[in-house]
Amino acid sequence: MTEVQDAIARLDAYRAELDELSRALNQILKDLEPVEVEYDAFVDEFQIGLYESALAEGSRLPAEAMQVRLARRDMPPGLLGRFEGLRRKRERLKIRIGDLKVCIEAERSILSAEKTVASV
């Protein structure tokens, strides 16, 4: 019976952490949205500038991946830092939420097995 109580206690702790992380993820997504718009606008303007330069010089455009790298190189450090920082936080939160889901499923399996044993 103590195994059941332990599993329920762990599930409650996971629930609390999951709630906290989901709220944090929601806030990160809200914070990231305007930064993504600013980031995309900078990249778009940079790519337009490259296109216009290529037309004027009669040269070819670099590959799209290189265009983005060049844009990031010229991007204000504050914008790039905010964008990357929020993006990385979002990914870390998603990974931890996924890990918690696995832990929750494991605890639910333990409870299910205990229930089956108790009913026999």
Three-state DSSP at 92 gives helix
Confidence of residue 116 (pLDDT cuts 50, 70, 90): confident
Would you state the structure tokens that stand for residue 76, as one six-digit string? 């204000």
Residue ranges per structural domain of the chain: 2-119
Confidence of residue 119 (pLDDT cuts 50, 70, 90): confident
- Per residue in 14-32, pLDDT (tens digit) is 999 999 999 999 999 999 9
- Report pLDDT for 115: 83
Residue 1 has pLDDT above 70, yes or no: no
What single-letter DSSP state applies at residue 75? S
Q: Say whether pTM exceeds 0.85.
A: no
Task: Work out the angle between the directed axes of helices 64-74 and 2-57 (0-180°, nearest 10).
Answer: 100
Q: How far apart are CA 32 and CA 42, in angstroms?
A: 15
